[in-house]
Amino acid sequence: MIGKKTEKSLKQTYIFPMVRRTLEDYYEDMLRCYKCSYCRWVFFPDARDERFVYQCPSGDAFRFLAYYASGRMEIARGIVEGRLPWSKTVEHILYTCTTCGACEALCENINRCHPLQIIEKLREKYVTEIGPTPAYKRMMENVKKHHNLYGELDRKRFDWLPDGINPPKNAKIMYFVGCTSSYRQKEIAKATLSVLNKLGVKVGLLYNNEWCCGGPLFRGGVTAVAKESLKHNIQALERSGAEKVIFTCAGCLRAFKEGEEYGLAPPRFEVLHALQVVSPLLKDLKNQLKPIEGNVTYHDPCYLGRHLAPFPIYEEPREVLRLISSKLVEMPRNRINAFCCGGEEGVREEFAELAVETARKRLAEAKTTGAQTLATACPFCVQNLSGGSKEFEGVKVEDVMMLLDRALQ
Amino acid sequence: MADQDLINRLIDIVGPEWVSEDPAVTIAYSRDMHAYIRFGWETRRPDIVVLPKNSSEVQNIIRVARGFKIPVIPYGSGLNIFGWTLPRCGGIIVDLARMNQIIEINEENATATVEAGCPHFKLQSELLKRRMFIHQPGACSSIYLGSHFTHGCCSKATARLGHIERQIVGYEMVLPDGTMLRTGSLADCRAQKRIWPHGPGPDLGHIPRYAEGALGIVTQVTIKCHPLDENVWPFWVAFDDIDNTIKAYIELLHAEVCTGSSLYAGFKYIGYFSDSPEVAYRQNKIHPEFMLILSLQGTKRRIKFEEKVVREIANKYGGRVITDQLPFYQMFVDSHLNMTSSLYSEYTMRYFGYPGTVGAPGGMVWAPIYDVAEYWKRLTLLYMNDPVLGDPDESDFEVNRSMILYPSQSGHYTLIEAAIAGHPVDPRLIKEIAPRFAEKFVREITDMGLAIDAKYGWTRRGEIGTISSYSELASKIKTAFDPDDVMNRGVWSIF
Render pLDDT for A339-364 as a digit per residue (tens, 0 to 9).
Answer: 999 999 999 999 999 999 999 999 99
Please write the tens of the pLDDT for every residue from A17-74. 455 578 998 888 888 788 888 899 998 778 888 899 999 999 999 999 999 999 999 9
CA pair distance A373, A298, nearest whole angstrom: 8
pLDDT above 90: percentage of residues in chain A: 75
pLDDT over threshold 50, residue A327: yes
How far is Cα of residue A192 from the mean position of the Cα atoms in its chain? 19
CA pair distance B148, B154, nearest whole angstrom: 9
A396-399 and B226-227 as β-strands: parallel, antiparallel, unpaired? unpaired
**What per-residue confidence (pLDDT) applies to B365?**
65
Contact present, A213 and A178 (Cβ < 8 Å): yes
Yes or no, beta carbons of B350 and A44 under 8 Å apart: yes
Q: Which residues on A lie below 8 Å from B20 (Cβ)? A: 64
Shortest Cα distance, chain B CAs vs residue A352, angstroms: 18
Which residue from A minimizes the CA distance to B141? Answer: A44
Interface pTM (ipTM) of the complex?
A: 0.90
B290-298 and B231-239 as β-strands: parallel, antiparallel, unpaired? antiparallel
pTM of the model: 0.86
B232 forms beta bridges with B297
Contact present, B221 and B146 (Cβ < 8 Å): yes
pLDDT over threshold 60, residue B171: yes
Name which of B397, B362, B357 is nearest B380 in CA terms: B397
What are the C-alpha distances in Å from A331 to residues A313, A321, A366, B148?
17, 14, 6, 30
CA pair distance B32, A70, nearest whole angstrom: 11
Please write the tens of the pLDDT for every residue from B39-49. 555 678 899 99
CA pair distance B11, B9, nearest whole angstrom: 5
Which residue from A minimizes the CA distance to B118? Answer: A50
Question: B4-14 and B55-68 helices cross at what angle (nearest 10)?
Answer: 170
| Across A380-384, B210-214, B271-275, least confident range | B271-275
pLDDT over threshold 50, residue B341: no
Q: Which residues on A lie below 8 Å from B423 (Cβ)? A: none
Yes or no, beta carbons of A64 and B33 under 8 Å apart: no
Is B355 near chain A, with CB under 8 Å?
A: yes
Yes or no, beta carbons of A66 and B356 under 8 Å apart: no
Q: Which residues on A lie below 8 Å from B133 (Cβ)? A: none
Residue in B28, B42, B43 nearest the CB of A65: B28
Burial call A27-48: b when 16+ CB within 10 Å, e when fewer: bbbbbbbbbbbbbbbbbbbbbb
Which residue from A minimizes the CA distance to B23? Answer: A84
**What per-residue confidence (pLDDT) applies to B437?**
74
Yes or no, beta carbons of A41 and B33 under 8 Å apart: no
What are the C-alpha distances in Å from B32 to residues B79, B216, B316?
7, 21, 47
Contact present, A126 and A86 (Cβ < 8 Å): yes
Average per-residue pLDDT for chain A: 90
Is B359 near chain A, with CB under 8 Å?
A: no
B72-75 and B231-239 as β-strands: parallel, antiparallel, unpaired? unpaired
Which residue from A minimizes the CA distance to B140? Answer: A36
Shortest Cα distance, chain B CAs vs residue A72, angstroms: 7
DSSP B144: B
Q: Listing from the earlier edge strand, what are the strands of the sheet with B168-174? A: B102-106, B111-115, B217-224, B168-174, B180-182
Yes or no, beta carbons of A78 and B20 under 8 Å apart: no
Which residue from A minimizes the CA distance to B34? Answer: A34
Q: Is the dihedral of CA A313, A316, A319, A324 positive or negative?
A: negative
Which residue from A minimizes the CA distance to B97? Answer: A63
| Across A260-274, B175-189, B201-215, B286-300, least confident range | B286-300
Q: Which residues on B lie below 8 Å from A85 (Cβ)? A: 23
pLDDT-derived band at B348 (thresholds 50, 70, 90) equals very low
Yes or no, beta carbons of A63 and B51 under 8 Å apart: yes
Yes or no, beta carbons of A32 and B425 under 8 Å apart: yes
Give A271-313 as a DSSP string: EEEHHHHHHHHHGGGGGG--PEEEEEEEPPPGGGTGGGTTS--
Shortest Cα distance, chain B CAs vs residue A293, angstroms: 31
Is B53 near chain A, with CB under 8 Å?
A: no
Contact present, B421 and B437 (Cβ < 8 Å): yes
Name which of A201, A381, A172, A204 is nearest A277 in CA terms: A201
Three-class SS state of B211? coil
DSSP A266: P
**What per-residue confidence (pLDDT) applies to B274?**
57
Structure-model confidence comparison of residues B46 and B473, the more confident one: B46
Q: Is the dihedral of CA B268, B274, B277, B283 positive or negative?
A: negative
Shortest Cα distance, chain B CAs vs residue A33, angstroms: 8
Shortest Cα distance, chain B CAs vs residue A27, angstroms: 11
3-state helix, strand, coil in chain A (%, to 5): 55, 10, 35
Structure-model confidence comparison of residues A390 and A95, the more confident one: A95
Angle at A31 between CA A111 and CA A336, to 5 degrees: 30
Please write the tens of the pLDDT for every residue from B358-368. 233 345 666 77
Average per-residue pLDDT for chain B: 76
Angle at B203 between CA B199 and CA B206, to 5 degrees: 130
Residue in A53, A66, A110 nearest the CB of B24: A66
pLDDT over threshold 60, residue A3: no
Q: Is the dihedral of CA B143, B149, B153, B158 positive or negative?
A: positive
pLDDT over threshold 50, residue B343: no
Which residue from A minimizes the CA distance to B25? Answer: A66
Angle at A391 between CA A385 and CA A396, to 5 degrees: 50
Yes or no, beta carbons of B95 and A110 under 8 Å apart: no
Give the distance between the most distant pair of CA atoms in chain A. 71
pLDDT above 90: percentage of residues in chain B: 27
Which residue from A minimizes the CA distance to B347? Answer: A45
Yes or no, beta carbons of B36 and A31 under 8 Å apart: yes
Yes or no, beta carbons of A89 and B79 under 8 Å apart: no
Q: Which residues on A lie below 8 Å from B41 (Cβ)? A: 1-2, 31
Shortest Cα distance, chain B CAs vs residue A248, angstroms: 32
Yes or no, beta carbons of B40 and A45 under 8 Å apart: no
Contact present, B223 and B169 (Cβ < 8 Å): yes
Is B56 near chain A, with CB under 8 Å?
A: no
Beta strands in B325-377 (DSSP E): 364-367
Contact present, A72 and B24 (Cβ < 8 Å): no
